[in-house]
Amino acid sequence: MTPTRPPTATELLQDAGVRQVIEQAWLDSLANDPILRHEEGGWIYLDLTSGVLSFIRAIAGATSGISLSAPPTVAGAVVVGKFHTHPNPEIEGWTTGPSPSDLRIDAAHGVPDLIRAEDGVHFSGPVTRRGGLAGGPGYPP
């Protein structure tokens, strides 16, 4: 069905496909391995004709950071969200929720960011894609 607006962060998290791709990213983050644990993430796209969501994973990140600044272009679709993981445990002094740089970058990118950590999924960024479905592929202007 042709979408009339981008999904909200809550709607994204209710989507089985979104949940699956985030859980896979979490598994791939190797949170239980103190040496190899690292951030994973990717982008969520909405097809402007069918309304179907699709996903692209980003190149694996570092121990505490991942670049999601350059989403690949998907024909006929716009970026409506992104996700990444925070695999470092709170017991070692890490913050599981959005970092100051997450908050700053997510506000600039203009789409909801779903952050999977050991204590669940946190939100950062706007509740829904800034400016609706307009603005072309990639992040909104």
Q: Which residues of this protein are in contact with Zn ion, per CB under 5 A?
A: 102
Q: Output the smallest distance, CB 119 to Zn ion, in A.
A: 14
Q: Select 77 or 117, whichever has its Cβ closest to Zn ion.
A: 117
Torsion angle of the four alpha carbons 103, 107, 21, 25, in this order, in degrees rounded to the nearest 10: -30
C-beta closer to Zn ion: residue 89 or 137 = 89
Count of residues making up the chain: 141
Min separation Cβ 102 and Zn ion, Å? 4
Output 5 or 104, the one with its CB closest to Zn ion: 104
95 alpha-carbon distance from chain centroid: 17
Question: Do the Cβ atoms of 67 and 84 come closer than 8 Å?
Answer: no
- Cα distance between the two ends of the chain: 25
Reading the block at residue 27, the tokens are 């598994």
For Zn ion, which is the closer residue by CB, 100 or 141? 100
Closest CB 129 distance from Zn ion, rounded Å: 19
* Nearest-approach distance from CB 84 to Zn ion, in angstroms: 5
